Chains A and B, each alone.
Chain A
């Protein structure tokens, strides 16, 4: 299993500003994932963060809007840039084990409100 800490747990931000969300895992993991959960919706994968290489973004998400850093095997950040009210969501960090059939572990999420 993995314990994931996310900071901040919530924030209210002004439109046009940026917020950086931190994700710390208690063990080294190869891949970390960032998800967005809009109100009342499912989880949508934003990108996969690999240490030592650029993140891989899913369709509909771009690096300029959601830059990701992965400086080591236990830490990652997601920045939500130039925010608008449509960015109001819960953002979750996730990891999986090194075997393909292991479940995903999630941070408690960052609840972002853009005003």
Chain B
């Protein structure tokens, strides 16, 4: 069974601060795929990053980075030097059997 938990409901930061969004996943699969999506106020869903269960390295892509820890079943997402345009709801998601299950989402407010 897939389950994704985002314990942080809302986070508020001041522009240029770094912010980390937490995600804990549960799965019985040995191979699984984790994602982060962004939903800005306009409502569309934007794919941000992907992680396969067999990837070993954490990566950085521009201002985004992620920390995948199998030992704690966590897949945390960090935005460095946040900007007002980063204000959105961020969803962690798990894809198993091709269907995507979303966490509850974390609403991020970035104040100027």
A45, B91: Cβ atoms closer than 8 Å: no
**Least distance between B56 CB and chain A CB atoms (Å):** 15
In the complex, residue of chain A having the shortest beta-carbon distance to the beta carbon of B6: A42
Which parts of A85-115 form the interface with B (CB within 8 Å)?
A: 90, 92, 94, 96, 100-101, 103-106, 108-109
Number of A-B contacts (CB under 8 A): 53
Beta-carbon nearest neighbor of B104 in chain A? A42
Which residues from chain B contact A94 at a C-beta distance below 8 Å?
100
B102 and A48 within 8 A (CB): no
Q: Are A43 and B35 in contact (CB under 8 A)?
A: no
Could you say which interface size class chain B belongs to? 20 to 34
Question: A19 at interface (Cβ–Cβ under 8 A)?
Answer: no
Question: Is B84 in the interface zone, CB < 8 Å from A?
Answer: no
Q: Are B102 and A43 closer than 8 Å at their CB atoms?
A: yes
User: Is A73 an interface position by the 8 A CB rule?
Assistant: no
B23–chain A nearest beta-carbon distance, Å: 12
